[in-house]
Chains A and B, each alone.
Chain A
Amino acid sequence: MKATAAKLFFALAFLVTFLAQPTYTSAQHKPASSIPTADFIQPAELAASLQTTTTSKPLILQVGSHVLFAEAHIPASEYAGPTGQESGLQVLRDRVAKLPKDTSIVLYCGCCPWGRCPNIAPAYEQLQALGFTHLKVLYLADNFGANWVDKGYPVAKGR
């Protein structure tokens, strides 16, 4: 009897929790959680690599909002988005069209908390589909302001 009650309680709790989550449809976006953590690069690691003069620098692409890019972005990064929309994915495809498939590329967005970002997963999946083999995604848990700018990492402004 107790076990049945407990099962019912947990089943109800699960149902409530599940229904409380936003649903992701193709009209919305692929969740960033679909990106394997092995392909993450942490902000501190990327910031450190930007300081070195010995290693070759990756191509860094911001795939989110152009307004937020204009406010602040990683120096030498380029704008190629917003990849949550087809028009932005086309911008990304055009940018990488002539690059060798083994080009080191770092993607980032930081418009929203990681789990809510509409841009990063479509960009990652697009470049994977195009055959790029050296992809990394900058893991920004909260947003670009909190996890990059506020940490004192280098920033550039403008479009």
Chain B
Amino acid sequence: MMQRPHSANCSFLAVLVALSLATAAPHLRAQTQPSIPAHSKAKTAPDFTRSDLTGKPIHLSSYRGKVVLLNFWATWCEPCLAEIPRFSAWQKKYGAEGLQVLGVSMDDDSAPVQRVYRKYSLAYPVVMGDEHLGNLYGGVLGLPISYLIDPEGRIVVRYQGEPDLTQLEARIKALLPHPLK
């Protein structure tokens, strides 16, 4: 059998490595480090009231006593769509232990949000956001952005960009007010 020359092997490997890096590169910077305020400086999450997609009013403060994952997203935001199925799974898994996920869509209108909500069968409420709500949270100028809020209503972590979902799930579990034994 003919043996491939050594230089050909090296070229093959080099091409594979280069292609791997090229396809991965645009996504490597998408995952960002969370912003964690010191506990004593943790800010109370600004309260707001919005209607969910069914018209039911949602008051953020009514979730006091629960861990809240507040997720700003949009239907045109690819990294947002990648993470919301996990959030929905967490709502089902940890809801009884005191987790409440709340989505805030920054879409310009609700029609595509309704479609995505149905497509993904989201297990948590979604409200429509706008510039006023964005400004209330210090500027939502790039998506996704998520806030983890403790049962006392304080912002524990702010994630700009795609969070490390394993790390985020661990943080949620550590904060749950009614963990199952």
Q: Is the CB of B16 within 8 A of A143?
A: no
Q: Which of A6, A10, A116 contacts B77 (CB 8 A)?
A: A116
Q: Is the CB of A17 within 8 A of B23?
A: yes
Query: By the criterion of a CB under 8 Å from any partner CB, how many residues of chain A are at the interface?
Result: 45
Query: By the criterion of a CB under 8 Å from any partner CB, how many residues of chain B are at the interface?
Result: 37
Query: B161 near A: Cβ within 8 Å?
Result: yes
List the B residue with the shortest CB-CB distance to A19.
B23
Q: A21-B27, A113-B161 are in contact. Are A14 and B139 (CB under 8 A)?
A: no
**CA of A68 to CA of B108, assembled, Å:** 9
CB proximity to A under 8 Å, residues B25-81: 25-27, 29-30, 32, 74, 76-79
Query: A124 near B: Cβ within 8 Å?
Result: no
Query: B135 near A: Cβ within 8 Å?
Result: yes
Q: Is the CB of A111 within 8 A of B26?
A: no
Q: Which of A29, A71, A142 contacts B140 (CB 8 A)?
A: A71
A29 contact set on B, CB distance < 8 A:
78
List the A residue with the shortest CB-CB distance to B9.
A3
Q: A66-B108, A68-B134, A115-B30 are in contact. Are A110 and B141 (CB under 8 A)?
A: yes
Q: Is the CB of B24 within 8 A of A71?
A: no
Residue numbers of A with Cβ under 8 A of B are 3, 6-7, 10-11, 13-14, 17-18, 20-22, 28-29, 31-33, 65-68, 70-72, 82, 84-85, 110-116, 118-119, 141-146, 149, 157, 159
Residue numbers of B with Cβ under 8 A of A are 6, 9, 12-13, 16-17, 19-20, 23-27, 29-30, 32, 74, 76-79, 82, 106-108, 129-131, 134-135, 139-143, 160-161
